[in-house]
Amino acid sequence: MRLLATLGATPAIHRHRYELEGALYETALSFEAVKLHYGIDDRDVTIVGTRQTRETLHEEIAPYRFVEVDPNDLDDIFHKTLEAIDGEIVVDLTQSFRSVPFGALLALSFSKSLGKYAREIFYAQPLSNACNPSRESCDFRFVSLLRYDRIADAARTINTFVATLLVLDRVDLADRELRRLRSRLEALSRSIYDNNADRAITQADALREKVAELIGDEAYDYLGGHLRKLTEELDAISACGGRYESEKLLCMSAYLLSKEITLHAMTMLYESMLAFLDEELDVEECTHYTDRRGKRREASIYRRRNCLKKGLGDCRRIRQIPDCDAFVRQLGRIDRLRNISAHGYTSDNTSVDLTKTIEETIGFLRKLYPKRRSAKEGIDRLLDAFGDR
């Protein structure tokens, strides 16, 4: 393990008492307490300071690697600190000069984008403001600054999911409950992008309860607004459950379109239309088939629905589908665009606006589905909500 510390130019005259994770250390410089606590070797300590630091504390810092920065040049502080961040490190920002700790903290934040993470970032807080450490011995307690950085990471993880339904950050979060939340968001994201509507709805239902617990816990008040936004997304996904498969998939299609996840929305829309056929039609030649041995077998869901799609040519024979001719045209259009996009537009350089086409088909189906023989209420109200997003 390595130690990175900022240091100012105050002479090390008095020894102070530092409390770190329940242990007490008496040293003149705060970083020495951290060094003792973690058993870090002198050669693994890097001090970031100014020319005045070197001149005033040259004996105290002699055993360590010293990085000199210009206190009036934030870029210099940022880049040199960033270069010094290497391997598993703990950081002490207690004693420093002007903009040095600020620049160092920015470098530590940026280093996460390079896959470099501090194990801990400390600041020694005085236990009494009446004590002057330059004139007398004082008592300090180290507090973690990393906790606040991880709170920001948690907020960013939630906000990213709300915006994209993805979990992109791989940083360690503030505590076990937030790590569990991220893990469950990752699982929900996989289900959504796998086009597994049933699993996504089930996971969203369960996750809503967990998020409600976090909102009710004072320890997570700082994330209250973010968690409430997340609840709105989970509510929207959960609202797609408990109905005909065709309506559930149509609801998910509208939701994904509202998030601008266009191709997945189109897939859900296509499958919704096939599910509608399956729910409304009972065609013997599609529900069963004869295998090569002449044995009559029940068709799989995919075989059955593909058969129903192919048999839609003559709407005069199909009275169960309201507005059949229009339905066939819409299905054909969505099926064609689905195939074109699946093949990278290599077979057709169409300039059709996918979003507009999906919106138009959703608008058509939201009027059609309630006309089914045993329509359930609520689909139109539900889709109206997505139209306002």
| pLDDT score, position 349 | 58
Q: 373 vs 273, 276, 320, 367, 376, CA distance in Å?
A: 16, 11, 8, 14, 10
pTM above 0.85, yes or no: no
Question: What is the C-alpha to C-alpha distance for residues 201 and 252, in angstroms, rounded to an integer?
Answer: 9
- Mean per-residue pLDDT, 294-319: 77
Q: What is the CATH number of domain 2-144?
A: 3.40.50.10640
Least confident of 107-116, 118-127, 245-254: 107-116
| pLDDT score, position 303 | 85
- pLDDT reading at 311 higher than 90: no
- Mean per-residue pLDDT, 336-350: 74
Q: What percent of the chain has pLDDT over 90?
A: 62
- pLDDT reading at 242 higher than 90: no
| pLDDT score, position 379 | 45
Q: Work out the mean pLDDT of the chain and round it to a whole number.
A: 88
186: helix, coil or strand?
A: helix
The answer to whether 205 and 238 have CB atoms below 8 angstroms apart is yes
Structural domain boundaries in the chain: 2-144, 151-238, 245-387
Q: Which H or E run contains 371?
A: none
Pairing of strands 23-27, 296-298: unpaired
Q: How confident is the model at residue 277 (pLDDT cuts 50, 70, 90)?
A: confident
Question: What is the C-alpha to C-alpha distance for residues 302 and 279, in angstroms, rounded to an integer?
Answer: 13
Q: 120 vs 20, 21, 103, CA distance in Å?
A: 12, 12, 17
The region, left, alpha or beta by phi > 0 then psi within -120 to 50, assigned to residue 80 is alpha
Pairing of strands 118-126, 89-92: parallel
Higher local confidence (pLDDT), 252 or 298: 252
Higher local confidence (pLDDT), 192 or 386: 192
Six-digit token pair at 364? 């058509």
| pLDDT score, position 266 | 95
Q: How confident is the model at residue 299 (pLDDT cuts 50, 70, 90)?
A: confident
Q: Which H or E run contains 90?
A: strand 89-92
| pLDDT score, position 171 | 67
Provide the β-strand partners of residue 92.
5, 122
The answer to whether 181 and 214 have CB atoms below 8 angstroms apart is yes
Question: What is the C-alpha to C-alpha distance for residues 12 and 57, in angstroms, rounded to an integer?
Answer: 7
